[in-house]
Amino acid sequence: MKPLLNFRMNDGSRHFVSLPESYPLESFRDRMAKLPGAAITGFLTDQVTEVWIDFSYEGHAFTINNPFGEYWFFVRDPKCDDAILRKIIDHASGFLDEELARFQGS
């Protein structure tokens, strides 16, 4: 189980997990959209080095960014319940683990 981080950003948001960037940006966005109850609210990329994915889930606003070869997850409200954050982590990391195993098996 990935430990929850509690890094506060200048805008007050919380960086709560970092996961390896092991899958294409658009596919990762589409996977996050499949989290039941989630809605993608923004997607910005230069198609080369960086992506920003915004989504809402259970009444909270989230952002994913990919610096340094990782997907960094942020929640706007730093008091968001840890159980909600865990659901997001489980959904995202399960997908990334599956894709990494598929890549290594080919």
CATH number of the domain enclosing 37 = 3.30.310.10
CB 68 within 8 A of CB 80: no
pTM tops 0.95, yes or no? no
Identify whether 24 is part of a domain: yes
Q: Is residue 1 part of a domain?
A: no
Flag whether 95 is in a domain: yes
Count of domains for the chain = 1
pLDDT in tens, 20-64: 887 778 888 998 999 999 999 999 998 878 899 999 999 999 999
Range of the domain at 48: 7-105
39-45 and 14-20 as β-strands: parallel, antiparallel, unpaired? Answer: unpaired
Assess if residue 37 is contained within a domain: yes
> Which residues, 6 or more positions from 18, have their beta carbon under 8 angstroms from its beta carbon?
5, 70, 71, 72, 73
In a domain, 15, yes or no: yes
